[in-house]
Amino acid sequence: MHLIFGHLEPEVMDKIKDIANKLVEVKNWPAFSAGDTISVSYTIKEGAKERIQTFQGVVIQRRGSGTAETFTIRKMSSSIGVERIFPLSSPFLEEIKMVKRGSVRRARIFYLRELTGKAARIKEKMNFKKK
């Protein structure tokens, strides 16, 4: 790797990403996007003890790219909305399971925060592709 003195080559940002990819491992998760309901298992440490917890909810956004990518999932916990943000590259993530594919029209479905009950349902995505 070499940079020209005085000004930066245009690929410098790519280089930073390359190095970040080398240093941080992003596991192979199933593809999911906003609107999908997923179940995330992650380890939590309580002092010396370690245990696995799951969090199931609707993905309301994915943001960032490469090793810095995060996703936010929202669930209703006894009529109170709870959101959690996970880095995709977090070493604490154990498993991401697809529960339901949702059909939504945008990449960030923040409008879901204002909706409750029946209005907060998301249509399931149907696969009409011929087999």
Partner 1 sequence: MPGLIGRKVGMTSIYSAAGKNIPCTIIEAGPCVVTQVKTLEKDGYEAVQLGYGDRKEKRTSQAMKGHFKKAGTSPKRKLAEFKGFDQELALGDEVKIEDIFKEGEYVFVVGKSKGKGFQGVVKRHGFGGVGQATHGQHNRLRAPGSIGAASYPARVFKGMRMAGQMGNVRVTVENLEVLKVMPEDGLIVIKGAVPGHKGSTVLIRK
- Residues engaged in binding partner 1 (CB under 8 A): 1-3, 5-8, 12-13, 15-16, 19-20, 22-24, 67-68, 87, 89-92
Smallest distance from partner 1 to CB 53, Å = 15
Smallest distance from partner 1 to CB 29, Å = 16
Nearer to partner 1, 24 or 120 (CB): 24
- The answer to whether residues 131 and 107 touch, using CB atoms and an 8 Å cutoff, is no
Smallest distance from partner 1 to CB 65, Å = 12
Nearer to partner 1, 2 or 129 (CB): 2
Nearer to partner 1, 33 or 90 (CB): 90
Nearer to partner 1, 68 or 120 (CB): 68
